[in-house]
Amino acid sequence: MLKRSSRSVPRSTFLRLATGALLALFAVTPAAVAQDRGFRFGDDAAAWIEDVDAGDLDVLSKVGVDFDGMFGSRARVYVNDVALLNEVEKLGFRVTPIPRVVPNFEGGGYPTVAQLGSDLQAIAAAHPNLCQLFSIGKSVQGRDLWILKISDNVTVEEDEPEFKYISSMHGDETVGIVLMMDLIEELMSEYGSDPQITRLVNEVEIWIMPLMNPDGYNAGSRYNAQGVDLNRDFPDRISDPVNTTAGRAPEVAHVMNWAFQQSTVLSANLHTGALCVNYPYDSDPNPFASYSATPDDSLFVDQSLTYSTLNTPMYNSFWFNQGITNGVEWYLVHGGMQDWNYHWLGCNEVTIELNDTKWPPASQLPGLWNDNRGSMLAYMDLCLKGVRGVITDQQTGDPLAATIRVVGIDHDVYTDPDVGDYHRMIEPGSYHLRITAPGYRKKVLPVVVGSGDATRLDVSLIPNGGLYRELPDLQGTLR
């Protein structure tokens, strides 16, 4: 067996040989590994692997090791075959198994899946003017994927940015479930008395999904009941650049189909197992890249710091400077939800890691809520910054499905075609917006963005071949 500790060959040669040796041991091809998403549900094993670098990540991921976190040179991983850990040890790595989480729903700290559904139904029944509860589909084992809509005019489509929190796509990462329920209760109970909460409910369409992976949560497993890591199953701009639900886990397909019908501007997905805000990109064409910046990199940094600076333990993290990290800077992931949201939907999303322990004692939950309450509200408020407006047909006044791009930034956002409203978060400065819609003449208009509430720029577009003369200086209402 080739030993990692005796690298007398060039690094690239060693990695090729090591990968080939492990693939041969398990009698699979790289293509077969890519196609086989089947971790045995309820039988996956976690471990720490010591002394790991970027090249090792690429090698080990190709043979079925699922990376869950990097902490210095120490990696937390999952495998679906304990024998694989034995072979990893033979390569010279030091492997330490992590005891499996046993779900504990006693004592009222963590709700059962059934209790969670009942609690959400009770909240919706008690506050019909502020919230509506929806099931966007069923998990593999038939459990509802609940999502709650919160707004002051909850049955009406308004000129408002849409925001979402989705928690616990990994079933053994549980803190977010409780914190989302705490947040929902806070929004309901403090509306009308707390100015910050009242502003958010009045001016933002808020969506909260406390639990994306109910089957995994019920079993104490990272994976869904098919053995799929849901945060590796979304379309990926590098490895899987087809934005379709075909062949994906039901939970992923349901979230995608729901998102296609919405126009979310800002979102976050909640995890545990670390303490940081992780921003895109998670993947990169270069498997050895140390950073992968979006066209909105500085904006993502500022938005991530908005969250971490109000969470003292996170901001003072030992592993993450100021409590934030670029995804690839931490470790490379293909098929993650945050990259999919940004690349295909024009929605800024980050991954928030709430606690180093995945399933902490219930006694710690009140302290974690206190650490995160202010951060969660401040992060939501970000979707009210930048530039916003409504795009309409100049002749009819009807709302349009339009695309908005800041000139010089290679990224698009989109209107909500129901109302025609767009919301482009951007840092303070002077810009030009290019507005396009199929069948209409494009517009390019200047806009000045401040640090407070979003600048408003409403725009009417002229149909191609229309009789109206284009007057760009008069058809944008800037204030």
Which residue's structure tokens are 């729903």? 105
Report how far residue 360's alpha carbon sits from residue 375's, in angstroms, rounded to the nearest whole number.
Answer: 20
- Give the chain's length: 479
- CA separation, residue 256 to residues 230, 344, 431 (Å): 12, 11, 32
Pairing of strands 264-271, 348-355: parallel
End-to-end, the C-alpha distance of the chain in Å comes to 69
H helix or E strand, kind and range, residue 351: strand 348-355
User: What's the gap between Cα 326 and its chain centre?
Assistant: 13
Both tokens assigned to 40? 């045995």
Both tokens assigned to 121? 């139904």
- CA separation, residue 196 to residues 11, 189, 226, 433, 454 (Å): 54, 13, 41, 30, 16
Under DSSP, the state recorded for 414 is E
- The SS3 call for residue 178 is helix
Return the axis-axis angle of helices 365-381 and 175-190, rounded to nearest 10°: 60
Report how far residue 96's alpha carbon sits from residue 15's, in angstroms, rounded to the nearest whole number.
Answer: 22
Residue 158 annotated among the catalytic residues of the structure:
no
Query: Which among 162, 173, 349, 353 is annotated as catalytic?
Result: 353
Q: Which residues are catalytic?
A: 353
